[in-house]
Structure 1
């Protein structure tokens, strides 16, 4: 291996690592706010890429129907809970309308606009608008009533949610894989390395989103509320911060990040209905590098995972996934030695 090959592999690894960094940060966000180790984070990546692919084919994406099913399921669950608690009927109806308003509106807009020849940028915005609200719906459906359960219980629920979303993805997207067009079809030569416009966009978009998240947590009321919930859930509740709303917001942000990651990675590889699991798992490994607590360390771990995957694919392409996933073992050992007997809280 000479310097030129090493440079190419390094650039490729860092570009993939930039996307993994977004997923790792979403994983850390969900864990610190809700204590949920969210296994299905990668499903949002697949949903984002597949939604854009179906819009490219001028088809109504299956995301519309999936989102509506989740919304109606949440309404049924809320109505059953409200009737059990004897809540007033007008209050229940208003809550149901609030839940259904956005999914019906964005679903109707997509149904009308899907057959049209829309610009790629508008299709991308529409894809994110369809996937992002699914995060809150998944939280309300699967996790909200179990907010005080143990981490192990929440992890088991996450595994069930993963299988459910994967099965629904197969139903609504089919088994066919898609590869999206590049957002910027140019080439740049930097020494021995040739960078595509899509790679530049992946770096730029990932960096911009990380900066926006940093500003969101540091300068906005909602971001500070999420930080307060992450530091002390009981203290946040005593100060009037709704941990339920914090959970919904954090899951919405995670779905938004996942959808954007799908748009970024879609032009570089073929995405199938179940491709999100491995992609999300690499983001999870990066989050484990950070002990599921530090955003900067999660980003650094993600870049390391991307580089390790790139060089592993060069040396032993058949075992690249094994190489990446095996790397988590010494990290877990180090974490267990550094924080022994850490209780579930």
Structure 2
């Protein structure tokens, strides 16, 4: 192995590590606020990439139908809840994002679904199709079991993962897709040639992480999420709605997963079940961070990406085994200093 190969593998590792960092941060965010180990995070990667691929190829993405179905179910549940509790004040807001938004996107689809549409327009439209699925899944599945144990929430996440994977096969088929690159060409930086797409992914990941830092540190909703993460019961006592926190958290996680899928789709063929493996590697990074530390999660993700890149060169048949085996020493190390903590502590 010469220096050229090392530099190429480092670039590949940093590219994958940036994606794993985003997914790991989303997993840590969801677990900190809602105590949900969100295994279906990878499905948003798949849905985002395949939705964009379908749009740029002039085909109707299956997420449009999924959004219409999920939105109708959410509105139906809210109507039943409003009738039962005799509280109708917020029903119009649910109608806006669960019914009006999907119908508006359905009517706008012919304007976007052709190959002459600028890529950034297709990206924004794909985000609008996929991101609302996050709070819808929370309302349909997790809101009713929000106070259950972590084990019950984990089992629920496994069920949601299998459901979304099956829906992905139904709506997108078994064929793999790639999307056009956001940037083409090579850039000479730090004495080596970098792919412009790789630099774009790294910069986009850094910008998104910075935006999340500003959101949590400088906005009212961000501080509400931090308070809920610290103590759910205390947050409720001071008037912070844990339901609102859950919906915002799932919306952010869906946006992160969708954007991650679009960033990686130009360099990796995406199938309906590809997101599960990518999401698991983000979960490895989250485990390195103890499902609590954002900096450690980001550092662990970069390490996982570089380890995967070099493993694919030296032992490509065992690269997945090597990456996932990393969990074992991390869990052993953390178990030595662990103590039992109640869910509400």
Give TM-score, length-normalised by structure 1: 0.95
- Using a 3 Å threshold, how does the CA distance of structure 1 residues 168 and 111 change in structure 2: closer, same or farther? farther
Structure 2 Cα separation of the partners of residues 119 and 95 of structure 1: 31
Deviation at 1:131, TM superposition (A): 1.0
Q: Secondary structure at the match of 1:195?
A: strand
* CA–CA separation in structure 1 for the residues paired with 2:183 and 2:171: 29
Aligned residues: 343
Q: Which residue of 1 aligns with 2:100?
A: 101
Residues 43 and 165 of structure 2 are in contact (CA less than 8 Å); yes or no, is this contact kept in structure 1? yes
Contact kept, 8 Å, 2:78 with 2:91, in 1: the verdict is no
Secondary structure, in 3 states, of the residue corresponding to 1:188? strand
Instruction: Give unpaired runs (5+ residues) of structure 1.
Output: none
Q: 1:166 to 1:133 in 2, by over 3 A?
A: same
What is the match of residue 268 of structure 2? 269
Deviations 1:280-318 (A, max 9, x none): 111111001000001111100100110110011011111
Show the 5 A alignment for 1:156-175. 156-175=155-174
Write the deviation string for residues 60-115 of structure 1: whole angstroms up to 9, x where unpaired.
Answer: 211111111111111222233333x2526x55853552331222222322244214
Tell me if structure 2 keeps the 8 A contact 1:23–1:257.
Answer: yes
What is the DSSP-based 3-state SS (H/G/I as helix, E as strand, rest coil) of the residue aligned with 1:22? helix
State the 1:344 CA deviation: 4.3
Structure 2 match to 1:10: 10
- Note the alpha carbon deviations across 1:2-44, whole angstroms, 9 max, x for none: 2222221112101110111000000000000000000000100
Name the SS for the 2:131 alignment partner.
helix
Q: 1:86 to 1:230 in 2, by over 3 A?
A: closer
**2-side partners of 1:279 and 1:101: how far apart?**
33
Aligned to 1:187: 186
Structure 2 segments unaligned to the other structure (5+ residues): none
- Distance in 2, matches of 1:96 and 1:189, equals 50
Give the alignment of 1:90-239 within 5 angstroms. Answer: 91=89, 94=92, 96-98=94-96, 99-115=98-114, 117-190=116-189, 193-239=192-238
Closer/same/farther in 2, CA of residues 116 and 193 from structure 1, 3 Å limit: closer
Partners of 1:94 and 1:190 in 2: how far apart?
Answer: 52
Deviations 1:167-197 (A, max 9, x none): 1111111111001111101112447743211
Maintained 8 Å contact 1:175/1:273 = yes
Does the 8 A contact of 1:55 with 1:114 survive in 2? yes
Paired residues of 2:56 and 2:115 also in contact (CA < 8 A): no
Partner of residue 19, structure 1: 19
Question: For residues 191 and 2 of structure 1, what CA distance do their matches in structure 2 show?
Answer: 18
Counterparts of 2:147 and 2:220 in 1: how far apart (Å)?
24
Aligned to 1:286: 285
In the superposition, the TM-score normalised over structure 2's length comes to 0.95
- Does structure 2 conserve the Cα–Cα contact (< 8 Å) formed by 1:21 and 1:303? yes
